[in-house]
Every structure is written in structure tokens, then in C-alpha cells.
């Protein structure tokens, strides 16, 4: 069998997190709301209405275009895409076609294997969503809530070479969208939808063979599985001497299979023409500069900087930059602390993240502020508390909102390093456990950890474990 | 300029319309006449005119992202021929 490589391009629809729809003042997000409750004459296509463009949609799209290094057009146009379907009340979708908001650009994907895949961006435009059709017992029901919800359609070049790369594209895109604050990018809520174009060719070849289009791959796993499935199917076809035909396939997540779909309209059938109800979008330099004034450092740049500037392992840097607020939290804590950033990273990667995940906290709104986390590490450094106390203190700060020092003082959590107090407890422990003492003296020195643990327990974690060990060793020598 | 019958059938399919043989012939004549009429625009010399969709040179009016009350569901559905569970009920669409 010869070697093949996959040629994959992805088309994504990104739901922007604006408050209102793209061309009317209806609420954009209707998740879990009853059907036909966020609609008006504009988004239901009643006669005589005019669309008015939502400024925030343009601004959010400019942020994404800039992140993709795309060229942003100073003048762009809306176009009508005509097709007949019951969930499209106007009979056309307002979209952009040949003079969209942005064109060109690329997105670099660092792969876990260590290489970077550069994906070119073919198309980036804004458009309105259609409504939702539900099929129930042979009946079709239409809900227009989603009509007019703002979308960005972004299409890549045929640059991805495996199902894993395609999955990675979605993972990084989702991260970026949340980072930029332009979409919730929740695939389960269809904020981020994906179609995949797949073909294969002999490895090393540069030809483009007929491709199939897979619809409805709406989770990271679905993208990976559907594409892998299709690559294998196409290889089997070619190996059997058959040709791959340009089908449209539907991914069924339940059965993990692909099914051939009805053929759709071709591009010419959409009869695109300029939307006469909307003027062109003029994006002058002043507006563009205002939009990009607060453009953030992007996740991959920040990840690299964390490694360089703070000497963090790649692993830590990756986790700490998964989300923008989390990485801001980390950096604020490092600044407040002023010592070894790795110590703050260790707290973040274990205790702080666990707290965030278990309690569903927003890193930017925690009562355990970055400054308090820094203060806790400061107390450990100063020998005021030990690590066990510090871990418990962290939770107490989050629960009470009081400062770490105040809690240490109020609850008497400061570490006892006074030898005599520890010595008394250690003697008690040895007296209560003659069998263990005997074993230890006969050479089972691994019991030392257990003895230290007993002392710590009796002192409710306040003893300095190093002092306790020293004292115990002395006593057991006698 | 005369449309072929196949073109008329294609246009009808995009609009999900089913035409009788007689209608196809009639609409072929009517549509062809409309196209002929529009084709008169081709007689205008546009060599030195760039494509123009708008003659006004102004920024599209933009709307702040602030919500407003839309229509009550009952009103939205009041014109629908068939309604069920606050949704429009529609016949199956001609597929393909």
C-alpha cells in the first residue's frame, strides 16, 4: 500500500457574544429560552423593515481578523445569499461575499509533537444565522430565535494534514475566541460549528483531489473521529481502484458513521448580489485604532513569554495560559510575590486550579486574590506556617475573604518550632506506640515518616516537620 | 435571449415550485421577455464607470449593542397558517 496524506480544510461558524442580534435589537442569546420569544419584524423578515448593523459585531470581527493577521478592508460590503428554506424567513441570508470585512491571514498551531502547522485563512466574513428547524414525528417546527444571531464564517485553506491537526485547530481557535472575549465558543451550544473538507493524495504530491465535505462535526472528538473515518474510507476507495466522488456527508455522532447527504445548491444557484438595504461598512483608521487599542497579548505569545521570563516549564506555561483570566491571575500573583515564579505556578497548578474547577470560580473574582496567594507563599518562606497549613489557609481565605495573616493570627495557625513543645508531644507518641518504637530500633527506619505524621496530627499540623524529625531521631537514639 | 426549458425547470426548483408542462412553456416566454428587457442596459457604454452599488458616500448607520423589546410570540405567530407549541408548522420542503 502506498503512503497517503490527508488534505483538510475547515469551515467554521463562530457565534459572537454580542448582547443583540446583528441587524436588530433582539436579544442574541436564546439558549434554553422558549421558541419564538426573541424575534421582531426585522429578524423574521416581515415586509417593509430595514436592517441596521450592530457596531459590536464589526468590532469583534476586526479583533479576530487582526489575530489572524488578515488584511482588513477599509470598505466592505454585504451581499444577499438566496436560497429557499423554511427557517430562512426572508428567502435570503445577509452575508458577505467578494468584498468581505477581511481576507488572507494565517493561524499558527503548535502541535503537541513539537512542530508548528501554519494554516492559511481563505475567508473571514460576518453574516446572520438562520432559524432552527426541528423534525418531530414527521412534522417540521420552526423557531426563529436564532435568526439574525451574528456569526463569523472563517474558512481555512487546505492546509491541515491529519485529523489531529484539525482537532488542534479547533482547540486553539476556541481558546483564542474566549481570550479575545468575542465568543463563548461553546461547541455544545453551537457557538462554534464546523464543516470539514477532506481529500487524500500520495504523500509528497501537491495535487488537490476531489474532496468530500463533512457537515455537522460539532465537537472536538467529532472532528477527529469523522475526519479519521473519512480519510480511511477514501484510502480504501483508492486502493480498490475506485474514484472518490465529491459527496456531501453528514456525521452521525451517535453511530460514529458518515452518511451521504442530498446535493446542495452550487455557488451560482445562490445568486449573490449586493445587499441593497445596507450601506458599505467603512472602517477608517481612527475606528480601527480604537478597536485595536486594547488588543491583548495572545495565548501562544504569552505562553512563550512565561517560559522565557519566568523560567516555567512548557507544561506549566501551557496550563497557565489556557485561559486569559487565569494567566492574568498568575502574573499578578508573581508580581505581588516577587520571589521564584515557579512557587506561584505550583500553587496555581494544584490548589488554586482545583479550587477554581471544583467551585466553578472566576479567577478574576476570587476572594483568594493574587495578592493573598503571594502573601501565603511569603508566610511559608518566612517559616511562619508550613505547607500543610498553607494549603488549608488558601481555602479559608477563599471562603472568608479575610487576609491570610489575619486568619493565621486569629486561629493560631503559626508553626510551633519551639523544641520543648514538640519534644513533649514526641515523647507522648513514642510512649503510646512501643511496638513501632521496637521495630524502628530493630532497623525499620522507614517508620520515621509515620512518627512525624503522628506528631503533626497531635499538633494539628502546626509543628515544623523538620524540627519534629530532629527531635524524634534524638529520642529514638536513646 | 431565450431561456431553455431546462433553465426554467432549474429556476423553479430553486424556488421549490412545481410547474406543469404548460406553465413551463408560458414562464419560459415571460422570463425570456423580462431578461430581454433588462438586457437593454447592455447598450449603455459603461467602459469608464466603476461598478457602483451605492451613489452615496456615507458610513452605514450603526446601532449600539443595546437590546430592545421585540414582538410578543402570539403576534409573531398570528399570520402563520399552522402553529404548534409556539412554533411555525411547515410542510416538508421539496428536497434535492
- Report the gap between the CA of B92 and the closest CA in chain A (Å): 7
Chain A with chain B: Cβ pairs closer than 8 A: 116
A35/B85 Cβ within 8 A: yes
| A349 shares a domain with A280 | no
pLDDT at A384: 86
Number of domain units in chain A: 3
Residue to mutate among A16, A21, A25, with most B CBs inside 10 A, is A25
pLDDT at B93: 60
Domain assignment present for residue A294? The answer is no
Whether residue B66 contacts residue A52, with contact meaning beta carbons closer than 8 Å, is answered with no
- Given a cut of 60, whether residue A1 has pLDDT beyond it is no
User: What confidence category does residue A232 fall into, taking pLDDT thresholds of 50, 70 and 90?
Assistant: very high
* Domain limits for position A360: 299-411
Whether residue B93 contacts residue A83, with contact meaning beta carbons closer than 8 Å, is answered with no
B91/A24 Cβ within 8 A: no
B62/A58 Cβ within 8 A: yes
- Average of per-residue pLDDT across A76-82: 96
pLDDT at A263: 65
| A342 shares a domain with A261 | no
The Cα A149–Cα A128 span in angstroms is: 6
Q: Which of A354, A376, A411 is the C-terminal boundary of a domain?
A: A411
Whether residue A426 contacts residue A416, with contact meaning beta carbons closer than 8 Å, is answered with no
pLDDT at A64: 98
Using left for φ > 0, alpha for ψ between -120 and 50, and beta otherwise, residue A85 falls in beta
| A366 shares a domain with A440 | no
pLDDT at B96: 42
How large a percentage of chain A has pLDDT more than 70?
Answer: 98
A53/B87 Cβ within 8 A: no
| A105 shares a domain with A213 | yes
Alpha helices for A312-441 (secondary structure H):
314-320, 324-337, 341-347, 353-359, 370-381, 387-400, 404-411, 419-432, 434-441
- Given a cut of 70, whether residue A317 has pLDDT beyond it is yes
Cβ of A268 under 8 Å from any chain B Cβ?
no
Higher pLDDT, B47 or A102: A102
Q: Which of A259, A289, A319 is the C-terminal boundary of a domain?
A: A289
Residues linked to residue A134 through DSSP beta bridges, in sequence order? A141
Cβ of B50 under 8 Å from any chain A Cβ?
no
- Given a cut of 90, whether residue A333 has pLDDT beyond it is yes
- Report the gap between the CA of B15 and the closest CA in chain A (Å): 6
| A215 shares a domain with A154 | yes
Which pLDDT tens digit goes with each residue over A116-151?
999 999 999 999 999 999 888 878 999 999 999 999
| A433 shares a domain with A376 | no
pLDDT at A162: 95
**What predicted TM-score, i.e. pTM, was given to this entire model?**
0.85
Cβ of A75 under 8 Å from any chain B Cβ?
no
- Given a cut of 90, whether residue A343 has pLDDT beyond it is yes
Give me the CATH number covering residue A424.
1.10.10.410
Which pLDDT tens digit goes with each residue over A84-95?
888 999 999 999
- Average of per-residue pLDDT across A268-283: 92
- Given a cut of 90, whether residue A395 has pLDDT beyond it is yes
- Report the gap between the CA of A153 and the closest CA in chain B (Å): 20
**Residue with cell string 455537522:** A216
Closest by Cα among A414, A450, A417, A420 to A435: A450
pLDDT at A211: 93
Measured between CA atoms, the residue of chain A closest to residue B63 is A54
Domain assignment present for residue A132? The answer is yes
Q: Which of A242, A270, A289 is the C-terminal boundary of a domain?
A: A289
The Cα A187–Cα A243 span in angstroms is: 34
Partner residue facing B63 (CB), from A53, A141, A262: A53
- Given a cut of 70, whether residue A416 has pLDDT beyond it is no
User: What confidence category does residue A475 fall into, taking pLDDT thresholds of 50, 70 and 90?
Assistant: confident
pLDDT at A152: 98
CB contacts of A263 in chain B (<8 Å) are 96
Cβ of A346 under 8 Å from any chain B Cβ?
no
For chain B, domains (ranges, CATH) are 1-41 (1.10.20.60)
CB contacts of B12 in chain A (<8 Å) are none
Cβ of A44 under 8 Å from any chain B Cβ?
yes
Nearest-5° Cα angle at B10, B4 to B13 = 145
User: What confidence category does residue B58 fall into, taking pLDDT thresholds of 50, 70 and 90?
Assistant: confident
| ipTM (interface pTM) | 0.87
Amino acid at each position: 500500500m502506498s503512503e497517503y496524506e490527508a488534505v483538510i480544510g475547515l469551515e467554521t461558524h463562530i457565534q459572537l457574544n454580542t448582547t443583540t442580534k446583528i441587524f436588530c435589537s433582539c436579544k442574541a442569546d436564546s439558549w434554553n429560552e422558549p421558541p419564538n420569544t426573541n424575534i421582531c419584524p426585522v429578524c423574521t423578515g416581515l415586509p417593509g423593515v430595514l436592517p441596521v448593523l450592530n457596531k459590536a459585531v464589526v468590532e469583534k470581527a476586526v479583533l479576530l481578523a487582526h489575530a489572524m493577521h488578515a488584511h482588513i478592508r477599509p470598505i466592505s460590503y454585504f451581499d444577499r445569499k438566496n436560497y429557499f428554506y423554511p427557517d430562512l424567513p426572508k428567502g435570503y441570508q445577509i452575508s458577505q461575499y467578494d468584498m468581505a470585512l477581511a481576507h488572507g491571514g494565517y493561524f499558527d498551531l503548535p502541535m503537541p509533537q513539537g512542530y508548528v502547522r501554519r494554516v492559511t485563512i481563505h475567508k473571514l466574513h460576518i453574516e446572520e444565522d438562520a432559524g432552527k428547524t426541528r423534525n418531530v414525528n414527521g412534522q417540521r417546527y420552526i423557531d426563529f430565535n436564532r435568526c439574525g444571531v451574528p456569526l463569523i464564517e472563517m474558512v481555512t485553506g487546505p492546509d491541515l494534514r491529519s485529523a489531529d491537526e484539525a482537532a488542534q485547530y479547533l482547540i486553539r481557535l476556541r481558546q483564542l475566541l474566549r481570550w479575545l472575549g468575542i465568543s463563548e465558543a461553546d461547541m455544545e451550544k453551537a457557538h462554534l460549528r464546523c464543516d470539514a473538507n477532506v481529500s487524500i493524495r500520495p504523500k509528497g504530491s501537491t495535487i488537490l483531489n476531489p474532496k468530500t465535505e463533512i457537515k455537522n462535526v460539532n465537537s472536538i472528538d467529532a472532528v477527529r473521529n469523522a475526519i479519521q473515518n473519512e480519510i480511511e474510507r477514501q484510502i480504501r476507495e483508492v486502493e480498490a481502484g475506485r474514484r472518490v466522488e465529491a459527496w456531501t456527508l453528514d456525521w452521525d455522532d451517535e453511530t460514529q458513521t458518515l452518511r451521504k447527504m442530498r446535493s446542495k445548491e452550487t455557488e451560482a444557484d445562490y445568486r449573490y448580489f449586493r445587499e441593497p438595504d445596507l450601506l458599505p461598512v467603512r472602517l477608517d483608521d481612527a475606528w480601527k485604532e480604537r478597536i485595536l487599542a486594547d488588543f491583548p497579548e495572545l495565548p501562544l505569545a504569552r505562553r512563550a513569554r512565561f517560559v522565557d521570563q519566568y523560567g516555567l516549564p512548557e507544561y506549566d506555561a501551557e496550563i497557565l495560559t489556557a485561559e486569559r483570566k487565569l494567566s492574568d491571575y498568575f502574573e499578578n500573583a508573581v508580581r505581588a510575590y516577587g520571589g521564584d515564579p515557579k512557587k506561584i505556578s505550583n500553587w496555581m497548578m494544584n490548589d488554586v486550579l482545583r479550587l477554581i474547577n471544583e467551585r466553578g470560580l472566576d479567577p478574576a473574582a476570587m476572594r483568594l486574590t493574587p495578592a493573598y496567594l503571594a502573601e501565603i507563599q511569603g508566610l511559608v518562606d518566612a517559616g511562619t506556617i508550613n505547607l500543610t497549613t498553607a494549603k488549608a489557609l488558601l481555602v479559608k481565605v477563599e471562603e472568608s475573604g479575610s487576609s491570610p495573616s489575619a486568619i493565621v493570627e486569629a486561629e493560631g495557625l503559626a508553626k510551633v518550632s519551639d523544641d520543648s513543645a514538640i519534644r513533649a508531644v514526641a515523647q507522648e507518641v513514642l510512649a503510646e506506640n512501643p511496638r513501632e518504637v521496637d521495630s524502628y530500633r530493630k532497623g525499620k527506619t522507614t517508620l520515621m515518616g509515620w512518627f512525624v505524621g503522628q506528631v503533626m496530627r497531635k499538633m494539628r499540623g502546626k509543628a515544623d516537620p523538620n524540627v519534629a524529625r530532629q527531635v524524634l531521631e534524638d529520642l529514638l537514639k536513646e | 435571449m431565450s431561456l431553455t426549458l431546462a433553465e426554467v425547470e432549474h429556476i423553479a426548483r430553486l424556488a421549490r415550485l412545481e410547474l406543469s408542462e404548460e406553465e413551463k412553456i408560458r414562464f419560459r416566454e415571460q422570463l425570456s421577455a423580462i431578461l430581454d428587457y433588462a438586457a437593454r442596459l447592455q447598450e449603455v457604454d459603461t467602459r469608464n464607470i466603476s461598478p457602483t452599488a451605492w451613489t452615496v458616500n456615507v458610513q452605514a448607520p450603526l446601532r449600539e449593542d443595546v437590546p430592545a423589546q421585540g414582538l410578543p410570540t402570539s403576534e409573531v405567530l398570528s399570520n402563520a397558517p399552522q402553529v404548534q407549541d409556539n412554533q411555525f408548522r411547515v410542510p416538508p420542503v421539496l428536497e434535492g
